[in-house]
Amino acid sequence: MGAISINYNKKPTPLEAFKMDMSLEILDHNIEKIDGDIIGDNELQSYIVYSSCKYQDEVVAIIGLIDYDLKNKEVYIKIMDETVGPVYYNMNKSVFDKLTPLKQQSFAQKWRDQVKKNFN
């Protein structure tokens, strides 16, 4: 899954930005603020959106990296599913508990195992 960028006049919330590049039904989500990258003298404002989303007959984890370039009024959105093994693991347990069991072994299992470690 690639990344998109959108110019804005009114800054969208992280969830609004997430929805700009994601069409699945969101059953639950949580948002984490993270340190943003610094590009020259411009520090990005960054968030991770963790969500449980309906996909066909399953509920899967979709993670969004949302970066705001406040100086240039631009938002960068990168959407990842759990099968690509994203390196973000702070999904709330209430969101995680909505995921359906995996039908096949993939990077998603490793990702889910790492998320579970954060619950203890």
pTM strictly above 0.85: yes
Long-range contacts, stretch 85-91, CB < 8 angstroms, 24+ apart: 85/110, 85/111, 86/111, 88/32, 88/48, 88/50, 88/63, 89/114, 89/115, 89/117, 89/118, 90/30, 90/32, 90/48, 90/50, 90/115, 90/118, 91/30, 91/50, 91/61, 91/63, 91/115, 91/118
- Spell out the per-residue pLDDT of the chain, length 120, in tens: 568 999 999 999 999 999 999 999 999 999 999 999 888 888 899 999 999 999 999 999 999 999 999 999 999 999 999 999 899 999 999 999 999 999 887 889 999 999 999 987
